[in-house]
Amino acid sequence: MPTETPLTKNIRTDGEAPDVKAYEQAGGYQAVRKALSGMTPAQVVEEVKDSNLRGRGGAGFPTGLKWSFVPMGNDVPRPKYLVANADEMEPGTFKDRLLLEGDPHQLIEGIIVAGYATGTDVAYIFLRGEYKLAARRVAKAIFEAREAGYLGQNILGSGYSLDLHLHISAGRYMCGEETGMLNALEGKRANPRAKPPFPPASGLFGKPTTINNVETLCNVPHIINRGSAWFKSLSRTKDGGTKLYGASGKVKRPGIWELPMGTTVRELLEEHAGGMRDGFRFRGLLPGGASTDFLTEEHLDVPMDFTEVQKAGSRLGTGTMIVLDDQTCPVGMVWNLEHFFAQESCGWCTPCWSGLAWVERILKALEDGQGRPGDLEKLASQTKFFGPGHTFCALAPGAAEPLQSALKYFREDFERHIADKRCPWR
């Protein structure tokens, strides 16, 4: 069944990103014209609410609803800010890179429309430091958009003004957490903030702030151009739109595909990723990055949307799956994940900095054949301390997800490490 691919239609796999002229010729910046000349900010918010667009950074919060929390009117604190979260550092995730490198004007157009809807004065694209090509292309696109009158004072004569800056970070997972990101932009350590207040009330520099993921923002121009009903019709489920899905690990064709929201795990794995490489058997997968619970064989027919993956005991997360095969040790894989989380913890909350280090050490001992009876109970009890509700941000609760589900689905493998006093895969 041929499906529309609004997010990736301009993206050429081996070439330059479209410049402002090429982007305009492909219908680009029409949504800015339409919104700024013919719609009120409230109408833009309503259209996006009706579209059932949910945040593509992983949490799936309804985008229109998030925008509606931003105080509007003449007597609200200014400047108001918008931050595009391009700090894509969730292990196994490589979707925003495609959008940033492949069609940066689409993101800028989304930011302008989102900025208009929320009365934003100043916007930042918060880009991870390792994305060098994306940095060059986004910087060039911002320059072109400003020259063409889509950014700056009185955009296209509408009376709406927006400044957009590129902030290039220097590498730390915590910066992707939204309040950590605000601290990072203020030149502080990216520790999370206590909530409330939430960013729409008091965010960057204490001002009302909207934070959206890159893929989320890239959907916005298409919703404005073609309407919320069309956007919903792209999806197979209640959540609107298409989704960038990916697969990595020992599958035949690792990659990334724009498909209807709600495409099943099986279709992604078997049709798009081509199934497992010859000689490898499927054991499980993390559906949406490192901080999601494992799914296994019994979940292959789960539609990959926010609601259904949650019902199956995991989260859609970023929608880029990491596949575990039978010749890779699940305990080793979880050790690798917890090593990442322990290293990237900012050190602010005790269950996180202390618990993750402990968990990592136990997993390493299991891998090295030094596991002891009681270790699995210790691991399980730590996942309870990680939260949610015990820490300021979602890093530790996210770290708990692959661990708690691995203990459930791969229990025998853990036990064999202790009984045999070695890793059976090494």
Binding mask 152-171 for another protein (x = CB under 8 A): -------------x-xxxxx
Rounded Cα distance between 49 and 228, Å, is: 8
CB 255 within 8 A of CB 273: yes
Is the CB of 88 or the CB of 239 nearer to another protein?
88
Span of 52-60, 138-146, 186-194, 359-367 interacting with another protein by CB under 8 A: 186-194
Is the CB of 29 or the CB of 340 nearer to another protein?
340
Integer-rounded Cα radius of gyration of the chain = 22
Q: In what order do the strands lie in the sheet with 163-168?
A: 163-168, 122-127, 81-86, 209-213
CA–centroid distance for 320 within its chain: 9
Whole-number minimum distance, CB 337 to another protein, in Å?
Answer: 6
Binding mask 191-210 for another protein (x = CB under 8 A): --------------x-----
DSSP assignment of 146-179 equals HHTTSSBSSGGGSS--BEEEEEE----GGGGSHH
Residues 285-344 that bind another protein (CB under 8 A): 286, 290, 320, 322-325, 328, 332-333, 336-337, 339-340, 343-344
Interface residue with another protein, options 20, 89, 214, 304 (CB under 8 A): 89
Binding of another protein by 345 (CB under 8 A): no
* Count of Cβ atoms closer than 10 Å to residue 27 Cβ: 13
Residue with tokens 């919060």: 61
Residues 6+ apart with CB under 8 A from 73: none
| Residues facing residue 257 across a β-bridge | 245
Is the CB of 185 or the CB of 223 nearer to another protein?
185
Span of 91-99, 210-218, 231-239, 349-357 interacting with another protein by CB under 8 A: 91-99
Residues 94-153 that bind another protein (CB under 8 A): 94, 96-97, 128-133
Binding of another protein by 1 (CB under 8 A): no
Whole-number minimum distance, CB 174 to another protein, in Å?
Answer: 8
CB 388 within 8 A of CB 394: yes
Rounded Cα distance between 217 and 182, Å, is: 18
Binding mask 212-251 for another protein (x = CB under 8 A): ----------------------------------xxxxx-
- The SS3 call for residue 11 is coil
In single-letter form, the type of residue at position 17 comes to: A
Is the CB of 227 or the CB of 275 nearer to another protein?
275
Residues that bind another protein (CB under 8 A): 79, 88-94, 96-97, 128-133, 165, 167-173, 184-190, 205, 246-250, 254-256, 286, 290, 320, 322-325, 328, 332-333, 336-337, 339-340, 343-344, 346
